[in-house]
Each structure stands twice: as structure tokens, then as C-alpha cells.
Amino acid sequence: MDLKPLITLLAIVNPLAIVPFFIHYTQGFSYPQRRRTIQVASFSVFCVIAACALLGLQILDFFNISLQSFQVGGGMLLLISAMNMLNAQPAEAKPSTNEYEEGAEKAAAGSSIAVVPLTIPLLTGPASMSTVVIYADRAQGVWQTLALVGYGVVIALATAVCFALADPIARVLGKTGINVMTRLMGLILAALAVEVMADGLGKLFPILVAR
């Protein structure tokens, strides 16, 4: 079984890096509210990954987008995400927007923040979605596609565990520990991004790999 998709998704989603945001957003929540937020966010992460694995290629066909072009674009998104992570930011961070502040305002107003902004864009944004689609194309047969959906279950469980243990994780690792983990995953993701882009460019321009 190829574990590269799982490793890549874990590096991108990286729920450890989102723990500080989760704590900030839910600091005024009761225990049932926090538990409900964890459940909804985890299930939403699985739904996004499963939908991209099962329907992503059909969506590309509908818009007549070649997978090779999508690989290059997706690889660039991954590289941008890796750069964010190397700067100790969440993979899907967009410093020029105020979506994180809006999330805090939603939480303070009593609105649900499990889907937006926790699931989208903090956990599963464009980079993670494009990654799932790319690996869905590489799947050989129904079982490998189902394995990719199964990886969504693993990511969802990892998210639930990290959020459920958010306070102990924050105490043990601290901001420095979380930043170190995020940078290490960013380094792994950068290498994978280059590999995805190189594969896409090689298919678009065969002369680049001609001997």
C-alpha cells in the first residue's frame, strides 16, 4: 500500500498547526460546544477529502482541464503551502486576508466555526484538495481509490485527536514545538511539491525528459 498520499495529506492538513487557532476560537465554548465543533470539523475534513477523491477527476473533465496542467498548478499551490509552513504558518494561510479574525468574531457571536474557517480553509484548502485529485488519478482500480477515501478517515481521526487534546498539546509542545513540527512538515511538503510539478511538466513538455 502506497502511504505517500497519506503522508502528503498529513503534512498539508497538519492539525497540530491549527491547534492554536482551535484554542483561540473555542476559548469561550462549553464542553458540549467544543465537542460538537470537533465532531463537525473532523467529519467535514473527511467529506472534503472523500469528495475530491471520488468526484475530482469528473470535475476536471467537466471543465475540460488536463490533469497535467492541474498537476503543475496543484504543485505550485503545494509549494506555496510549504513556504507558509516553513514560516511556521498553517499551510492554507493567507496573510493578506482577515478570515482568521472573522472566525474569531463568529465564535464570539456563537456561530459555528467548525466548517468555516476551521475545515475550509485552515485544514482543507485548495492545496489539499488538489493533492487528493492528483493522487486519485494515480489510483489503479477501485480499491486504491477507496484506500484514498480511507486516508480521509485517518486524517479526520488525527484532526479529532489533536483538537480533543488541544490544551495538553499546547502545554507540552508550546508555540515553539508546534512551529518546529510545522517547519519539518513544510520541508517534506516542499520536496513533494517539486515532484508533482516535475511530473506534470514532464507530461506537458516531453522534451524536458527526453534523453
The pLDDT of residue 159 is: 96
Distance CA 71, CA 199 (A): 8
Residue position matching grid coordinates 468574531: 105
Q: What is the pLDDT of residues 75-120, one digit of tens each?
A: 998 899 889 888 888 776 665 555 555 555 655 544 578 898 889 8
Asked, as a colleague might, if the bond just before 126 is cis with ω within 30 of 0, I would say no
Confidence of residue 43 (pLDDT cuts 50, 70, 90): very high
Average pLDDT over residues 6-33: 90
Q: What is the pLDDT of residues 189-211, one digit of tens each?
A: 898 899 889 988 988 888 777 65
Residue 132 has pLDDT above 70, yes or no: yes
- Determine contact, residues 22/90, Cβ cutoff 8 Å: no
Cell output for 191: 520536496
Average pLDDT over residues 3-31: 89
- Determine contact, residues 169/16, Cβ cutoff 8 Å: yes
SS3 68: helix
